[in-house]
Amino acid sequence: MQNKEWILYDENCGLCRRFKEALEKIPGTEKISMVSVHDENIYTSFPQLNKEECLKEPHFIDENLNIFKGKEAITQIIKRFPHAEKFSWLIESGMGQKAINLFNKVAQSFREELNKDCKGCNS
């Protein structure tokens, strides 16, 4: 594990792969390791992680080894990028939190639908 922060993503999910690819184009992302939830080494390095949970919602691990899940993971990821700084008021506001919750819920629902129709997915 080369970097001090990690984003876990499902490499078998087209939506997750596109999100990862989009993030990699943003300056500053090179400081964060993108790790597949299917990489068993992540569970050896972080035994407190649960693969089933990691498959269900986004996970982010910060430099202090704090694990964030779901909307908290999304909030932490957004805070890492200077270009998102001008939107920080939105993240911290009640309405912004509702937007993040909605985004997380819609993305999860969409991901579940994709996986349900995917012949190669086990989840």
Domain assignment present for 104? yes
Strand partners, 33: 6
Does 80 fall in a domain? Answer: yes
pLDDT in tens, 72-92: 888 888 788 766 555 555 555
The answer to whether residue 122 sits within a structural domain is no
User: Has residue 52 got a pLDDT over 60?
Assistant: yes
Whether 121 has a pLDDT exceeding 80, the answer reads no
Question: Looking at residues 15-43, what average pLDDT do you find?
Answer: 86
Look at the chain and report how many structural domains it folds into.
1
Q: In the structure, what pLDDT confidence band is assigned to residue 114 with cuts at 50, 70 and 90?
A: low
Full residue range of the structural domain in which residue 83 is found: 5-117
pLDDT at 102 over 70: no
Question: Does the residue 87 lie in any domain?
Answer: yes
Higher pLDDT, 44 or 29: 44
Averaged over 20-41, what is the pLDDT? 86
CA 11 – CA 123 distance, rounded (Å)? 12
pLDDT, residue 23, reads 80
Q: What is the pLDDT of residue 123?
A: 46
Residue 39 lies in a domain: yes
Residue 123 domain-assigned (yes or no): no
